[in-house]
Structure 1
Amino acid sequence: MAARRTSLKEMAEQLGVSIATVSRALRNSHEVGEEMRTRVQELAKKLNYRPNPFAQSLRQQKPKVIGVVVPNLVTHYYAAVLDGIEDFATKAGYAVVAANSHEDHIREEKAIDNFVSMYVEGIIACLAQDTVDYSHFTEINKMGIPLVFFARTCLPDIFSSVVSNGDEAALQATRHLIDTGSKRIAFIGGPTHLDMVKRRKHGYLEALRERNITIDRSIVINGNIDYESARNETLKLLKREDRPDAILAFNDIITYAAFDAIKTLGLHIPKDVAIIGFTEAESSAFVTPKLSAIMDQAHLTGEKACDLLLRNIRGDKKIYKEIVPMILKIRESSNKQE
């Protein structure tokens, strides 16, 4: 069996320095002192560190390659964003390498480390749901590698981002539920540290305040972005005597989990429980009843994220925040008055 390749990150941890310092030392950069260069190079020799020869040759030829890391590549939203990135990148002469973090910060960090080892020219990223330590991204900034976030973002003073107007979309959707007869509206979201969750929950709460509806925190659910978890949380809500009569669901995974839970209990949509979900999937029009949806313009999000990254690669150091408007599509699942 071949020996496992030692990474820049592992050497940095052993030496107690940054990945950027290790990378510079291996390149004999004048930015690193002679003593540190010696320490790094001796450790590299000891660990039999070998830079990927393919990556080295690419670096020498200044390849047009960008890396993209997403939380869940099998969902329609992230696949559509990636499609937008690839379309824009291809037109500009760039290739795209994608990695799936599987909503795991460790896999996310490994993906970023792999991109560094491949000498990509820039990175586009969306945070895993459990990422709360952003040091691997600050390292990227120190190394001078352009990076742009989309959807779930962090470090807004350092990196450009592309997000949707989730707060306004949630406000409009919650107003619609109220105006069409729903009185007790639950929000089923994801982890509260994610800015994407905060925006959507904020819009939901603003609509309740605007219409003078008492906010019941027990029906504002912030759990894992996971189908079974969301389904179980919805079942608990709907088995209560004071069950909600409407649900605003954070994303496509949670939307279909909640939809299934309602059906499992034999409740009627929208008469017993109305539902609107944040989802772009075309399948929302083919379930019964047809699902009211707040749709991201995912392909456009990917194009804009790639545009910002390429601007950065070409020398534009301005920090941008692009907002892509969402589209509220009213169908059968949300209107109790029909």
Structure 2
Amino acid sequence: MTVQDIRTFNRFYTNVIGALDYSRQLYAPYTLTESRVLYELAHSPRTDAADLRAELSLDAGYLSRILNKFESDGLIERTKSADDTRRRRVSLTYLGRETAALLAERANESVGALLSTVPAADRPRLAEAMRAVREILSDGRPPRREDVVLREPGPGDLGWIVQRNAALYAVEYGFNADYEGLVARIVADFAEDHDPHLERVWIAELDGRPVGCVMCVRDEAPGTARLRLLLVEPDARGLGIGDRLVRAVVDFARVAGYRELVLWTNDVLAAARRIYQRHGFVLVAEKPHRSFGQDLNGQDWRLDLHGTPE
């Protein structure tokens, strides 16, 4: 392989995905670089300018101008870091998250249209080729947050949710088959009858394989949504996937018009509870119980969606 081989491929690929075609309005009114900064902020909600510079290899002055523009447009707010007062935390406002979601939706639609032209029989070969390119050029580096994508479930993904919940909870917490039965009923109810405007499932994907999931479904109480079945694979933890999945549910529930978001968990799930707390959930009740072959302490958590967005 030569330098020209790679440059030829780069020209081909940018044409295929339309990266240079601004008439397609993929990023308008922002540039590709500005859209990438928005993406990073949407998927790393607690970061600062130094983190962004390191992650994106951007010139400090250039990044500063982008952030100034975002602040002027009402997309971000900058506050002092609680860990280091010399740094300023950068986070998206509610408008910023809406803008990032719109740009992501446009990109997903564009890639979906491209993928629709690829025969189903060729898609596994394409995915494997893309993984091979990434693995070879990454020089063995560990996966990054940006490598993870959130998507809707495809064929087989709902079954994966049941299987992985059952397997992981058995290994990590000693849950028996009763838990698998509960998860299977939750997933079956969603598959058989759900309103896509009010209920949704997210799959976190890394290198072409599912590594996490979460559900948002209607609760029995009017105006209430329920977060269910949050899971992140052990080898994918530390990439902020749980935070992103919970954020996706919170944002979806707000847009769908729910007044509150609730969830039930057990206090042994310490990592998940910390995520819920970071997103504003409040513990409202707890009760000991015997379930799934274990003595547990169940907890009910609640988030007021009419409160100030994070």
**TM superposition score normalised by structure 2:** 0.31
Which structure's residues are more often strand, by fraction?
2
Larger RCO (alpha carbons 8 Å, 6+ apart) = 1
Which structure's residues are more often helix, by fraction?
2
**TM superposition score normalised by structure 1:** 0.29
> Which has the higher Rg, Structure 1 or Structure 2?
1
